[in-house]
Amino acid sequence: MSNRLQRAEQFRRLLQLFAASLEQEKALEISTVFPAYQAGRSYAAGDYLTCGVNSVGDPQLYRVVQAHTSAAEWPPTSTPTLYEPLGLDSQGYPLWQQPSGAHDAYQKGDVVNDNGTLYRSLADGNVWAPEAYTDLWEVYTNAEQS
């Protein structure tokens, strides 16, 4: 392995160690830094990891609830006793968060939970809160899913 590649891998690991100390809100902003779920790995309670993508195409971030060694039959997507999905409500909808710019703005059709109400974005590049800018959002009901 070249020195450059080794340094890059060590730097990524350093970022992961630092990122593990972040609060949930900040961790969600940099979900791509966290390692992907692996079967056969030991996880400590509080560890962050990613598995799959959320409804807006970002890596889905999870926090380990209980220390364990992971197994293929216990993935984060179906084992809530071991992993807590972050940034999602109990139905799996993303919780609204203030985008930091165009790169993470909501797109037309994105559905979010804001203070217990589901909203669908009516515009691409939407960075405005649903309750503050009602012209850019519409209330979304689960009946519309079918």
Mean pLDDT per segment of 10 residues, for the chain of length 146 residues?
A: 84 79 78 91 94 81 94 92 87 84 87 93 95 94 60
Domain annotation covers residue 94 = no
Same domain, yes or no: 62 and 109: no
Same domain, yes or no: 59 and 123: no
Domain annotation covers residue 97 = no
pLDDT of residue 146: 41
The total number of structural domains in the chain stands at 2
Same domain, yes or no: 106 and 66: no
Domain annotation covers residue 49 = yes
pTM: 0.66
pLDDT of residue 97: 84
pLDDT of residue 126: 94
Same domain, yes or no: 121 and 55: no
pLDDT of residue 102: 80
SS3 at position 106: strand
Domain annotation covers residue 60 = yes
Full DSSP string of 7-64: HHHHHHHHHHHHHTTS-HHHHHHTGGGSPBP-TT-EE-TT-EEEEEE-TTSSEEEEEE
Same domain, yes or no: 23 and 50: yes
Range of the domain at 50: 3-83
Same domain, yes or no: 137 and 78: no
Domain annotation covers residue 44 = yes
Q: Rounded CA gap, 54 and 62, in Å?
A: 11
